Chain A
Amino acid sequence: MEKIAVKVDDLTVAYNYKPVLWDIDLQIPEGVLMAIVGPNGAGKSTLIKAILGILKPIAGSVTIFDKPYKSQRKHVAYVPQKGSVDWDFPTTALDVVMMGTYGGLGWIKRPGIKQKKSALEALEKVGMLSFKSRQISQLSGGQQQRIFLARALVQDASIYFMDEPFQGVDATTEVAIINILKELRKAGKTVVVVHHDLQTVPEYFDWVTFLNVKKIATGAVKDIFNDDNLTKTYGINYKVSIQK
């Protein structure tokens, strides 16, 4: 059997004692490009934050390649939901991408030429090199999303968590981003993406997790991406035309 990249056991997370994730068991095999789908408020962002130790669960455990997250930080990159930061912050696109290198540097050490070089490469990869000196509030929504992606790329991790990287981007950017994600998978990386557009799931992803407070199903898209699971997750009678 292939290696398990992320293993979540009996995970329960609550805000103010109200559980928003209930008893989640989840195994993400190494090398998959996985979508997490579920309605607004299903706990998708919460699940990612709990895996990354940003939120403390009230029960359960998470391991990354069989070790606790704390010792595996360097192998994990994170793209938060775009609205989670203040884009008026006085800084440039290049500087934000450089932040991805901070984890490798550790406390106190400053980024140098090497870090700058990898940041510039990542900017080039997402097609944002010419915007490197732009103040981040002067970027469009799609461009900001690309900057976040570039920041995750410089982390040079084995597992990537992305919270709605396609939010508010146009068709061209969406294709550009998905191509980069597919490239990551080709290089053997594991990519986990919170995704809202159900139509594109079969085309973009090979693995999927249905989530709505509880885990509904997880597995290969070709096996479990069906109307039954969609209905269980979204509550209404769901029909998607799946192009096979």
Chain B
Amino acid sequence: MSDAQFEIQLIACLVAVACAIPGTFLVLRKMAMISDAISHSILPGIVVGFFLTQDLNSPLLILLAAITGVLTVVFVEKIQQTKLVKEDTAIGLVFPALFSIGVILIAKFANDVHLDVDAVLLGELAFTPFDRVYYGEVDLGPKSLWVIGSILLVTLILLFAFFKELKLSTFDAGLATSLGFSPVILHYGLMSVASITTVGAFDAVGAILVVALMIAPAASAYLLTTNLKKMIGLACFFGVLSAISGYWIANFLDASIAGSITTMLGIVFLIIYLFAPSKGLIAVLYREKQQRIEVSLITFLLHLKNHTEKRERHVNHLNEHINWQKVRSKTVLTLALKNNMILITDNIVSLTKKGEEFTSKAIEYILTNEDSLIENMKDDFFLFRG
């Protein structure tokens, strides 16, 4: 691995972590769309900043563009407050307007300079090692590394300082206000960090990858954990994982690095979306199936309790009586047997003591309309589930 290769990966990883942190809070605040809006509407800020500074990495440019990002949020909220349109519509109105102003500015005034729409949207990671910082004769490394490194450092400091405030105002803005932690300040603080990160990263990775790095790792992490700190950690991990694997895939296929990283982010999310242990699609479908079987089981036990006649409790007659398909009754019978709820003697089914107990309790809960308690009871009674 050459120095340049190492530097590219390091920059990509730092961008990934710098994006994952504000991204986690954006996802939890259901504001994923806003990062998309910011990433596009910073364009006019970048253009104006570029006219003034002639340097894509200048702090003034970053500041100007970040202000455009925050302004986007303000515009979206103002339009929303009129109650004439919903939030997504407001976003859809604001960012194309700002973005097109940027495009027009570039087309009219910046034809001859190094600044075009493609570069802003897609960036070029591969070129980042060539634009370096020198102190006298000493090579201090790529410029992007310094820009992103500083932004990440500030983000981390803010995260550690205001973790509790961010958590509280994201979860319960009302309580935050009444305790004196202004959610407005925290909201705009978060928006500023998201904007600055977007601006700082666009030169290296492009605006589109920034959005993907903010949202996809956080959305993946959300499916895996019920702890905010772990969610942030996992989001950073998935971002870094996609950055490094994306880099090598691009290297191997001779494709765009930003494109490969975005693809990897999508693949990681898809895998987690399908296979996450409790919130994943497969787990949810499995749980639904299991619940269907358990409802059948309770119905079946209630039937047994209600009918003492042998005729009603003969194995072969169960199908007709409760009107189930063969497979279903078989699954239910096996499950009841495994859990020691029933006995079968001479093909006649009867409840065991445990089965009696369970059924009486279930009836009581159903009668008193406390169905939710049946779920708790199931945990106590079912050793083997569906």
From A70, A85, A92, A137, contact of B172 by CB (8 A): A85
B363 to nearest A CB, angstroms? 17
Asked if A1 is at the interface of the complex by the 8 Å CB criterion, the answer is no
A108-B162 contact in complex given A90-B228, A135-B226, C-beta closer than 8 Å: yes
Q: How large is the interface on A (under 10, 10 to 19, 20 to 34, 35 or more residues)?
A: 20 to 34
Given known A-B contacts A90-B227, A102-B168, A73 and B178 have beta carbons under 8 A apart: yes
B174 touches A91 (CB 8 A): no
B175 & A99 in contact (Cβ 8 Å cutoff): yes
Q: Is the CB of B28 within 8 A of A54?
A: no
Q: A133 to B372: give the CA distance in the assembly, Å.
A: 20
Cβ-defined contact, B174 with A80, below 8 A: yes
B340 to chain A, nearest CB (A): 26
Known contacts A16-B83, A76-B178, A107-B165; A99 and B172 CB within 8 A of each other: yes
CA distance A241 to B227 in the complex (A): 49
Q: Is A19 close to B, CB under 8 A?
A: no
Name the interface residues of B150-171: CB closer than 8 Å to any CB of A. 161-165, 167-168, 170-171
Most buried by A among B167, B178, B231, B372: B178
* Chain A positions within 8 Å of B178 at CB level: 52-54, 73, 76, 78, 103
Q: How far is the CB of A180 from chain B (nearest CB, A)?
A: 19
A44 to B231, CA, bound (A): 37
A99 in contact with B226 (CB, 8 Å)? no
Give a binary string over A16-29; 1 marks a CB under 8 Å from any B CB, 0 the rest: 10000000000000
- The yes or no answer to A84 lying at the interface (CB within 8 A) is yes
Q: Is the CB of B179 within 8 A of A84?
A: no
Could you say which residues of chain A place their CB within 8 Å of the CB of B167? Answer: 91, 99
Among residues 135 to 192 in chain B, which have CB atoms less than 8 Å away from a CB atom of chain A? 161-165, 167-168, 170-172, 174-175, 177-181
- Say whether B118 faces chain A, with CB atoms less than 8 Å apart: no
Interchain CB contact under 8 A, B180 and A90: no
Beta-carbon contact of B171 and A99 below 8 Å: yes
- Of A53, A103, A105, most buried by chain B (CB within 10 Å of CB) is A103
Verify if B346 is at the interface (C-beta below 8 Å from A): no
- B180 x A92 contact (CB < 8 A): no
B265 shortest CB reach to chain A, Å: 20
Q: Which residue of A lies closest to B279 (CB)?
A: A88
Once the chains bind, are B174 and A49 in contact (CB under 8 Å)?
A: yes
* B358 in the interface (beta carbon within 8 A): no
Find chain A residues with CB under 8 A from B161 CB. 108
For residue A73, which residue of chain B has the nearest CB? B180
Instruction: Please determine whether A90 and B172 come into contact, CB atoms closer than 8 angstroms.
Output: no
**B228-A78 in contact (CB<8A):** no
Nearest-Cβ distance from residue A99 to partner chain B, whole angstroms: 5
Other-chain residue from B83, B171, B175, B372 in contact with A91 (beta carbon distance below 8 A):
B171
Q: Beta-carbon contacts of B347-386 to A below 8 Å, as 1s and 0s?
A: 0000000000000000000000010100000000000000
Give every chain B residue within 8 A of A106 (Cβ-Cβ).
180
Q: How far is the CA of A103 from the CA of B222 in the complex (A)?
A: 28
A85 pairs with B372, CB closer than 8 A: no
Determine if A188 is an interface residue (Cβ-Cβ < 8 Å): no
Give CA–CA (A137, B329) in the complex, Å: 33
Closest to A87 in B: B171
Q: Is the CB of A92 within 8 A of B168?
A: no
Once the chains bind, are A90 and B179 in contact (CB under 8 Å)? no
Q: What's the Cα separation between A73 and B225 when bound, in Å?
A: 34
**A170 to B83 CA separation, bound complex (whole angstroms):** 37
| 8 Å CB contact of B175 from A78, A108, A135 | A78
Distance of A160 Cα from B236 Cα, bound (Å): 40
**How far is A76 from B180 in the complex, measured between Cα atoms in Å?**
11
User: Which residue of B226, B228, B230 has the most chain A CB atoms within 10 A of its CB atom?
Assistant: B226
Instruction: List 10 contacting pairs A-B, 8 Å CB cutoff, sorted by A.
Output: A52-B174, A73-B178, A73-B180, A85-B171, A90-B228, A102-B165, A102-B181, A103-B180, A106-B180, A110-B164
Q: Which residues of B contact A (CB under 8 A)?
A: 28, 83, 161-165, 167-168, 170-172, 174-175, 177-181, 222, 225-228, 230-231, 370, 372
* Further contacts, 19 of them, CB under 8 A, given A53-B177, A90-B230, A105-B164: A52-B174, A52-B177, A52-B178, A53-B178, A70-B180, A78-B175, A80-B174, A84-B172, A90-B226, A90-B231, A91-B171, A91-B228, A102-B164, A102-B168, A103-B180, A107-B181, A135-B226, A137-B226, A140-B372
Interface residues of A (CB under 8 A from B): 16, 49, 52-54, 70, 73, 76, 78, 80, 84-86, 89-92, 96, 99, 102-103, 105-108, 110-111, 135, 137, 140, 151, 170
Q: Which 5 A-B pairs have the closest CB atoms?
A: A103-B179, A135-B226, A52-B178, A54-B177, A78-B178
